[in-house]
Structure formats: C-alpha cells, structure tokens
Amino acid sequence: MKLMSGTANQDLSRSIADYLDAPLTASEIERFADGEIFVRIDENVRGEDVFVLQSTSYPANDHLMELLICIDALVRASARRITAVIPYFGYARQDRKTGGRTPISAKLVANLIAKAGADRVLTVDLHAGQIQGFFDIPTDNLFATKVMEDDIRRHYQTDNLLIVSPDVGGVVRARALAKLLDAEIAIVDKRRPKAGVAEVMNIIGEVEGRRCILFDDMCDSGGTLVNAADALLEKGAVEVSAYVTHGVLSNDAQGRIAKSKLRELVVTDSIVPPPGSTETPKVRRLSVAPLLGEAIRRIANDESVSKLFD
C-alpha cells in the first residue's frame, strides 16, 4: 500500500499517514506559468495499491484537475489499484437538473474520475447519498456522525439536547445523530429566494428551553446556520451550536459566524481554511484522519468498511 498526497490538504494527508504508520509517496506537483499542472512520482509504484489523497475544495477546478493528473500518472506508472480518497467531494451540490438547460455536474465529475483511471473512490459525507450511484466504480461514503457524537458527549450535557436539521433535506442525517445521542430532533423549514440566500420560515418541533445543535454536511457562506440560530433562539432555545462535516466557509463566513449568536461551529479538517479567511475561536476543528485511515486500512486488507458504522 502506498499513500500519495495532492496539495489540497497536506496536513490531513500527513495525519492519515501517521495513523497508518506509512510514509507519503515521494512526488512532485508543480504549476507552469500559465497554470498547467505537472505531476511526477519519484518512487516505484508498479503493482502497488495506491491511495491518492485530495479534496476538491477551493480552488475546486485546480484541485480536481490535479487529482485527475495524479491518477493518470499512476495509471501510466502501472499501479495495480488506484483509490481516489476525496474527503470533500466538490460539485456535489449539482446532483440534479434544477431547471431547463442546466448540467448535472456531480455526474460529470464522477465520469472524469473513473475515466482518468481510478478503480475506487473513498469520500466523506456526500451532499446527497445518491451520488454514489453516479460512479461506475465502487464508492465508499463514510459518515462523520460518530466523530461528531464523541465530541458532543465530551463538550455537552446530553439530557436536554435537541438535534436540529437546518432544512428538510437533512432530516435523515439529523435523525442518525439523534439516535446515537438518544435525543429528539427538530427541523428548520426555510425558503431560499435565490442561490446563496436562505430565509428561515418556521421551526418544526418544540425547542423552548432546549440546548440545540444544528447538524449539516457543509457550511458555505454560513447564512443558513446564522439565520437558523436566530430563529431557534427566538423560539426559546437556551443556546445553539452547529456541527458541520465540511467547512467550506467562503465569503468571510468565519467573520459572519463570529458575529452570530451561535455558541460555536464545529467542522472537520476535510477542508483547509480558505486563503485570507479570518480565524475565530468560535470555529473549532475535528480530525477525520482516524476515520479515513481506518477505512484505507480496511480497503487495502480487503476487509469490510461498513463494519465501521455497525
């Protein structure tokens, strides 16, 4: 087994390598003056089981292209099996046609990864579970729910806890966490007037006197979480925190979170903080390196990955 890291999230790659007690494969990834990407693998990978570690986060197109070129380099170096480990799968929000003459970009990206030569994909908390079906190769979608549960138990009293889905589409995800914590759930019913703008309309569930935890797969601009926290507090919640797997945190989202009524926002390290973002103590990060590392070990040893969540 060999681990190869792209440049999207090298800290996470090193943490995974430390968990597995395996060095990262020596490689060079460079960019020409016009932005073209060049990859060279500096050690023999012939006949090896290689895991390429690369999130397709900001800048999404650069990191996606880098992943494809890494896969192509491994194919041409005669690697036996190539697994694309994508902690954050970009373009996942474009999983269906939202109107006439619009693309299904998540399917396009899935085709690109398979066509480049990947034999398998490993990712964390896809925005929509059905995206697994967009791939024509085996795809494992890991859940960060257990990581979140452990952290919540360490930092919160669970006897008065309410897990809140920030939209109707996240109910299944919220229910899974609530079941682990033996807690009840509530739902934020919202209307989105236009892309990137969320308006909270109603709260479904009894929140008065409860400590609320908003639970979602990603936070982009932070507007949904901030508006939901305001609405929950207006309905009588004692406090509101948020747990999100992928902290995209674009457009000064951290500044927005810092000024909000949220107690804290907890995200994983699937994405590095975007360049120029202002760090705030209200945003705390958990590592998914042990989760990904254990899944990689199981895949390499042909063991069950689903047993991680039994």
User: Residue 229: pLDDT above 90?
Assistant: yes
Q: What is the pLDDT of residues 248-297, one digit of tens each?
A: 999 889 999 999 999 999 999 999 987 777 789 999 999 999 999 999 99
pLDDT of 273 reads 86
Mean pLDDT for the stretch of residues 202-228: 94
Quote the CA–CA distance of 207 and 202 in Å, as a whole number. Answer: 12
Quote the CA–CA distance of 83 and 76 in Å, as a whole number. Answer: 15
Quote the CA–CA distance of 17 and 36 in Å, as a whole number. Answer: 28
Quote the CA–CA distance of 176 and 102 in Å, as a whole number. Answer: 32
Q: What is the pLDDT of residues 48-85, one digit of tens each?
A: 999 999 999 999 999 999 999 999 999 999 999 999 99
pLDDT of 200 reads 61
Average pLDDT, the chain: 94
pLDDT-above-90 percentage for the chain: 89
User: Residue 198: pLDDT above 60?
Assistant: no
Domains belonging to the chain, first-starting first, are 2-142+290-305 (3.40.50.2020), 145-287 (3.40.50.2020)
User: Residue 168: pLDDT above 90?
Assistant: no
Residue 190 designated active-site: yes
> What confidence tier does 196 reach under pLDDT thresholds 50, 70, 90?
low
Contact 280, 263 (CB under 8 A): no
Of 46-55, 167-176, 197-206, 294-303, the poorest mean pLDDT is in: 197-206
Mean pLDDT for the stretch of residues 114-134: 96
**Residue whose token pair is 């199981």:** 298
Q: Which of 190, 194, 235, 307 is catalytic?
A: 190
Q: What is the pLDDT of residues 75-100, one digit of tens each?
A: 999 999 999 999 999 999 999 998 99
User: Residue 146: pLDDT above 60?
Assistant: yes
User: Residue 25: pLDDT above 90?
Assistant: yes
Quote the CA–CA distance of 109 and 283 in Å, as a whole number. Answer: 30
pLDDT-above-70 percentage for the chain: 97
User: Residue 211: pLDDT above 90?
Assistant: yes
pLDDT of 197 reads 62
pLDDT of 195 reads 63
User: Residue 23: pLDDT above 60?
Assistant: yes
Mean pLDDT for the stretch of residues 6-35: 97
Q: Distances from the Cα of 3 to the Cαs of 26, 51, 71, 157, 282, in angstroms?
A: 9, 5, 12, 39, 33
Mean pLDDT for the stretch of residues 22-39: 97
101: left (phi over 0), alpha (psi -120 to 50) or beta: left
Quote the CA–CA distance of 5 and 12 in Å, as a whole number. Answer: 9
Mean pLDDT for the stretch of residues 149-161: 95
